[in-house]
Amino acid sequence: MNDLNKNSSHLFQDQHDSNHPVSSYEKRAIVFHSQSNPDHFYYVKSGSIKVSFESIDGQEYTVVILSEGDIYSGHARGVGIAIEDTELQIIPKETIITMLQSSPVFAVKVLKLLGKTLHHSFNIIEGLVFHNVQTRIIYTLVYMAEKSSETEKGKVHLTLGLTQEEIAAMVGCSRQTVNQILKELQEWGWISLKSRKITILEIEKLYDHLKH
């Protein structure tokens, strides 16, 4: 979890009360439906959630990943599905407004967090329109590294646990294409694939690719 998420998580723990029970969801369970709680915010206490849309032809597109410490507005569209075992609180909009008004520090953190979530969503959508599939997959790997990873001796172990099918849903291609490009990146020495787990060996190479 990055510093922004960590700090926001602590702020929520310090300021919201226990009147909002925590709900637990197993991996692959539906956490929320589109606009199912328009007057509430979702707060991820633990785990991670993918927010996806389905096109008229049945194609799934994932536009954002929520992880521990993230918040998401209940009025937004999209279906939330747990990527791993997840704990979630549903907090009324009025409670959030009161917290924003009472703590400028909290307000700044929340605005930054929501802005970052929106930024990633736009990047994913922009990639679907303007970038080739290889670039979209590389962006997704970097995104996964920023959301949930462990670093060891320069290696970045992705801990988010997305399957190749789920990565395909984020980049708008087939699982076979994802598999092919991941193998290419492994041949270049940029990543390592082992037991369905991805380790980034050359994170700067991925960042450099996205700059061009």
**Together in a domain, 20 and 36:** yes
pLDDT (average), residues 16-29: 79
pLDDT (average), residues 133-155: 85
**Together in a domain, 81 and 161:** no
More confident residue, 130 or 107: 107
pLDDT at 84 exceeding the cut of 70: yes
Domain boundary pick from 95, 128, 161:
128
**Together in a domain, 24 and 109:** yes
pLDDT (average), residues 70-90: 88
pLDDT (average), residues 59-68: 83
Note the pLDDT of residue 3: 42
**Together in a domain, 92 and 151:** no
Rounded Cα gap, residues 68 and 179, in angstroms: 28
HEC assignment per residue over the chain: CCHHHHHHHHHHHHHCCCCCCEEEECCCCEEECCCCCCCEEEEEEECEEEEEEECCCCCEEEEEEEECCCEEECCCCCEEEECCCEEEEEEEHHHHHHHHHHCHHHHHHHHHHHHHHHHHHHHHHHHHHHCCHHHHHHHHHHHHHHHCEEEECCEEEECCCCCHHHHHHHHCCCHHHHHHHHHHHHHCCCEEEECCEEEECCHHHHHHHHHC
Mean pLDDT check: name the lowest of 21-25, 68-72, 159-163.
159-163
Domain boundary pick from 128, 152, 169:
128
pLDDT (average), residues 114-122: 76
Q: What is the mean pLDDT of the chain?
A: 82
Q: For residue 19, what pLDDT band results from cuts at 50, 70 and 90?
A: low
pLDDT at 185 exceeding the cut of 80: yes
Q: For residue 2, what pLDDT band results from cuts at 50, 70 and 90?
A: very low
Note the pLDDT of residue 188: 95
Q: In total, how many domains does the chain have?
A: 2
Q: Which of 4-8, 125-129, 185-189 has the highest mean pLDDT?
A: 185-189
pTM of the model: 0.73
Q: For residue 159, what pLDDT band results from cuts at 50, 70 and 90?
A: confident
**Together in a domain, 114 and 19:** yes
Note the pLDDT of residue 1: 43
Q: Which domain does 35 fall in, by range?
A: 3-128
pLDDT (average), residues 85-110: 88
**Together in a domain, 22 and 76:** yes
pLDDT at 86 exceeding the cut of 90: yes
pLDDT (average), residues 146-158: 81
